[in-house]
Amino acid sequence: MPQLTDEKIIWMEEKARDIRISIIEMLVEAGSGHTAGPLGMADIFTVLYFHILKHDPTNPMWEDRDRLILSNGHICPALYATMAHSGYLKLEELKTLRQFGSRLQGHPHREFLSFIETSSGPLGLGLSQTIGMCLADKMDNGKFSGKQFYCLMSDGELQEGNVWEAMMLASKERLQNLTVIIDRNNIQIEGFTEDIMPLEPLKEKWQSFNWDVRTIDGHNFQEIVSAIGEAQAVFAKPSVIIANTIAGKGVSFMEINYKWHGKPPTKEEGERAITELKLT
């Protein structure tokens, strides 16, 4: 994994800010969509696409690429914006989010964007899909090929039962090339996770399923990189990184407010948000 220098951290902070601005712009244009989660995950997407993943925007179906599966598909504005800033899409296309006939659907749709790994919408399915890819890769090669498989999940979707079945299977199969990153922002569409269906003690629950577990600040670039590097070094176990994030990160009137989970900013709110982001 490339060394993370102070200069690279500053560059990624600026890139994450630009991605957040793009997220706000596309949601304002769409008039619908999810705001809090995409803003909260912008730093992790930035680290993945600009420092961690083996990928090639000029050859998106490169066989030896790492795989990133977005299970919580409603935060796709962060995925689309990051992929646009890394060269998969033209920035202008972001303004077509959720429009009729657009490739950028409200949840990722692989029939429209062939270079994303899965379609996603119903929560709780991404981990099972990722495990299937890991197993297929091992079957095809007779061993772990060296590809890394990343599954991004929300904390709210951990309330889905089949997530826990998938956790058992990944542990049984000793999928050492699987890393799950959980967006632990503590909110879901109707309120705070711990009020609706408590998840804690979350770390201990994953450990009891025989996963390697790390908890990090999801906005600290060094912690994100170090945790992923450590996860890749684990032998014979899948890894999960519980990333504590701030929903609506970077926009003061959106931060830690579950009401922004599933609504877009108005034009005026978008202007306020972008002004704040440009000052960071």
Rounded to the nearest 5°, which phi and psi values hold at 257? -120, 105
CA 223 – CA 214 distance, rounded (Å)? 10
Half-sphere exposure at residue 217, Cβ-oriented, CA atoms within 13 angstroms: 6
Predicted local distance difference test score (pLDDT) of residue 90: 97
**Amino acid letter for position 270:** G
Residues 6+ apart with CB under 8 A from 230: 214
Whether this prediction's pTM lies above 0.85 is answered by yes
On whether the CB atoms of residues 183 and 152 are closer than 8 A, the answer is yes
Q: Which CATH entry fits the domain spanning 6-279: 3.40.50.1100, 3.40.50.1220, 3.20.10.10, 3.40.50.970?
A: 3.40.50.970
Residues 6+ apart with CB under 8 A from 3: none
CA 199 – CA 185 distance, rounded (Å)? 12
pLDDT digits (tens, 9 = 90+) for 220-276: 999 999 999 999 999 999 999 999 999 999 999 999 999 999 999 999 999 999 999
Q: Which of 202, 205, 180 is nearest to 193 (CA)?
A: 202
Predicted local distance difference test score (pLDDT) of residue 121: 83
Predicted local distance difference test score (pLDDT) of residue 143: 83
On whether the CB atoms of residues 129 and 123 are closer than 8 A, the answer is no
* Averaged pLDDT of the chain: 97
Half-sphere exposure at residue 120, Cβ-oriented, CA atoms within 13 angstroms: 28
Bridge-based pairing state of the strands 239-244 and 187-188 = unpaired
pLDDT digits (tens, 9 = 90+) for 36-79: 999 999 999 999 999 999 999 999 999 999 999 999 999 999 99
On whether the CB atoms of residues 119 and 110 are closer than 8 A, the answer is yes
Rounded to the nearest 5°, which phi and psi values hold at 191? 155, -155
Edge to edge, the sheet with strand 239-244 lists 67-70, 149-154, 178-184, 239-244, 212-217
What is the residue extent of each domain of the chain? Answer: 6-279
**Is residue 123 scored above 90 in pLDDT?**
yes
Task: Give the tokens for residue 90.
Answer: 């033209």
The 3-state DSSP class for residue 112 equals coil
